[in-house]
Structure 1
Amino acid sequence: MFKNIDKVIEVITPLVHARGDELVDIEYVKENNQNYLRIYVDREPNGIDIDEIATLSESVSEQLDLINPDPLPDPYILELSSPGVERPIKTEADWCKAKNDYVHVGLYKKINGQKSYEGTLLDYDMDKIILEIKIKTQQKKIAIPRNMIANIRFAIKF
């Protein structure tokens, strides 16, 4: 299936970028016996609105219909949307934006008795991230191995 999604990405990326938008993520999933092609787009600095998404959705749909052979021959529902404020951190550009920002980290296994953390992403490399977390009234730095991270996303600090 990745090969098919790669073809979709190849076709829609220039279309998305030509509008000044960013392709954040794409997924092809089956839910309740229905296939969904979900495409998440964003625009800096203030995000993308619903009218812009609707216009882009029409253009993307037209381009997908022109691909031959069809990379997604089974019927599917196309969904375009913004990833929202708490978007996942996946690409190198996302990681750059996330540095010094507040993030939520979900782990595969507990570290110090916890399976998730929220804090400021101070630094990162291929092996680990450095997160500044608050424990009661004190700030503490914690190193989390990247291979322990199940997911990481931007978060809203309360």
Structure 2
Amino acid sequence: MHEKLYERLSELIKPLAASCGLDVWGMEIPASRGGVLRVYVDSPNGVSIDQCATLSRHISVTLDVEDPLPGPYTLEVSSPGLERPFFTVSQLPPYIGQPVALKLQAPMQGRKKWRGVLIEAEGDHLTLDVDGVEHVFAWEDVEKARLVFQEPPASGK
């Protein structure tokens, strides 16, 4: 059911985003009535607040007419931000060498939360260097993945 809803929302929202010069980075669909539908959008030139507001209005009208979500919900449209969530393995390669945080659906080696430097993302797996040890994760086992923002080093004077 969730996959079909995601596909339906994508069919409705992607053309609206494209008309605003944006790409849909991903969506978080509410798990229950009254939840939040989060739509993350991006573009090579970044995303402005005005673009998000315009897209939000377009999405609201379309979803009111099409009514794909059962019950009430709150719509949020934003850029993925500095600690962007990842929705597919194919989004990861540009971030190789950067820190990533994972939350797994089930514990691996006794833990669900992992943080390390992304060293590979290929097919349906990703590899993190966690304190000098490589760990391979199947994407299907990942509940959430996000980039970890690192403050750039201060320039010495």
Structure 1 position 59 matched with structure 2 position 51: no
Which structure has the larger Rg over C-alpha atoms? Answer: 1
Structure 1 position 19 matched with structure 2 position 52: no
Aligned residue among 140, 144, 147 for 1:151: 144
Aligned 8 A contact 1:100 1:122 in 2: yes
SS of 1:109's partner is strand
Aligned 8 A contact 1:133 1:142 in 2: yes
Aligned 8 A contact 2:89 2:124 in 1: no
Shift of 1:122: 1.2
Mark the CA change 1:82 to 1:73 in structure 2 (over 3 Å): closer, same or farther.
same
Q: Deviations over 1:115-147 (max 9, x none)?
A: 43333211133464332344xxxxx24122325
The answer for unaligned runs of 5 or more in structure 2 is 152-157
Aligned length: 148
Q: Deviations over 1:85-132 (max 9, x none)?
A: 112222244122222322112343243x65433332111334643323
Counterpart residue number, 1:6: 7
- 1:31-46 equivalence runs, <5 A: 34-45=34-45
Mark the CA change 1:22 to 1:93 in structure 2 (over 3 Å): closer, same or farther.
farther
The answer for unaligned runs of 5 or more in structure 1 is 135-139
How far apart in 1 are the matches of 2:142 and 2:34? 30
Equivalent residue letter for 2:8: K
| TM-score normalized with structure 1 length | 0.73
How far apart in 2 are the matches of 1:64 and 1:91? 24
How far apart in 2 are the matches of 1:92 and 1:20? 24
| TM-score normalized with structure 2 length | 0.74
Aligned 8 A contact 1:109 1:148 in 2: no
Mark the CA change 1:145 to 1:4 in structure 2 (over 3 Å): closer, same or farther.
closer
Instruction: Tell me how large the CA RMSD over aligned residues is.
Output: 2.7
